[in-house]
Amino acid sequence: MSFSLQKDKRGVVVVGVDGQLIVGNRQELKQKVVDALDGGARKFVIDFTKTGYIDSSGLGVLVSLSKKIREQGGDLRLAGLNEDLQTLFELTKLDTLFAITKTPEEALAAF
């Protein structure tokens, strides 16, 4: 499990979540995004294309990051959720809190 971080030409940061986003690694994701935010980045995409599962702590860290980014005038989008993960966001009603696109490319195009 790991997180990759890439910045495109326009400065949009794309974070890939490989494996799982859970209680044991959520702080690592949070730190990476906060560091990028402190470094001036304001537009973020978190790509779940390679993610198997997310627990409630993982959901919680996304809620927290979304708030932090919005407070700085930025924007966070989520992309690449498989059917199960999409259902998880729907049943927790977090799909109403996040901008979610099918692919990271769609998320990038929407900025």
Binding site for another protein (CB under 8 A): 1, 20, 22-25, 52-57, 59-61, 63-64, 67, 84-85, 88, 91-94, 96-97
Per the CB < 8 A criterion, the answer to whether 17 and 28 are in contact is no
CB of 54 to another protein, least distance (A): 7
CB of 61 to another protein, least distance (A): 7
Q: Residue 75 in 3-state DSSP?
A: strand
Q: Cite the beta strand spans of the chain per DSSP E.
A: 2-7, 13-21, 43-47, 51-54, 75-79, 99-101
Could you tell me the sign of the dihedral formed by the alpha carbons of 57, 102, 94, 109, in that order?
positive
Question: Which residue, 94 or 105, is less far from another protein as judged by CB?
Answer: 94
Per the CB < 8 A criterion, the answer to whether 62 and 93 are in contact is no
CB of 109 to another protein, least distance (A): 27
Question: Which residue, 25 or 101, is less far from another protein as judged by CB?
Answer: 25
Question: Which residue, 70 or 102, is less far from another protein as judged by CB?
Answer: 70
Question: Which residue, 56 or 103, is less far from another protein as judged by CB?
Answer: 56
